[in-house]
Amino acid sequence: MENGHRSLFVSIVLACLVVGGLLWLMSVPAPQPTIPSSAKKPASKPAPRRQASPSPAPAPSWSSARRTPARDARWENLDRTCRYWTERVARAGATSGDRTFQQAACQRQAEYARQTGRSWQPPRVVSPTAPAQTNHVVRVPVYECGRHRYGSIDYRNCRASEKKRLEQGCRSVSAKWDYARGDERIRLAAHRDAWCRAARQYQIVN
């Protein structure tokens, strides 16, 4: 009888051990398979960061970055030249050459203003006024060589010298008239006409 009880007790204990072992095995997680080091993929390098392209520097402006003392001096010279010829055209007695120089000078200044971004307005050209009429008569002194006998050699030599003096006076006043402007040009025109007329009319022998 006792042997029967012992066998039953041993059987129960063994059954408990088997069941406990099974439960323990079920609670333990299954091991993950290991990958050999030779089969591992090499770590990929991070992609290089793209550097932002630098924005283009703004183009320097003539009015600020490129203004230099040399360019300012050239601008002042062009401005003086344009104004000078404009004033000459505005005077009485201006010639077509004066107007040509005035147009060329002001065109050069306008072109330089466009290149350098400067503001420029053409100077106002005042129409020349008509020269005032004058009744002033220029009298040229003429020596008639009356101290010499008419027709003599001295008389002829005297009148030849006087005619030469009148012709030289005509040329001299004409040269001054070519370079004169304004009122001075008008005044010299009267003297030129008087001297040249006297030289033409003067005869060595009447």
Please choose, from the candidates 101, 104, 113, the residue with its C-alpha nearest in 3D space to the C-alpha of residue 76.
113
CA-CA distance, 192 to 200, in Å (whole number)?
A: 12
Helices (H), 28-93: 69-90
Q: Which residue has the tokens 């960061």?
A: 49
Record the pTM: 0.36
Residues in the chain: 206
Q: Sort 63 into a burial class: Cβ within 10 Å, 0-12 / 13-18 / 19+.
A: exposed
Q: What is the pLDDT of residues 125-169, one digit of tens each?
A: 555 444 444 456 788 888 888 888 888 999 999 999 999 999 999
CB-based contact 56:97 (threshold 8 Å): no
Q: E strands within the chain?
A: none
Nearest to 185 by CA among 131, 127, 129, 128: 131
Q: Is the pLDDT of residue 60 over 90?
A: no
Q: What tokens appear for 168 in the block?
A: 């030289």
Q: How far apart are CA 178 and CA 189, in angstroms?
A: 9
Q: Which residues contact 193 (CB under 8 A, 6 or more apart)?
A: 138
Q: Please tell me the number of Cα atoms within 13 Å of 147 on its side-chain side.
A: 3
Q: In this predicted model, what pLDDT tens digit does every residue of 9-49 receive, in sequence order?
A: 777 777 777 767 667 667 656 555 555 555 555 555 666 66
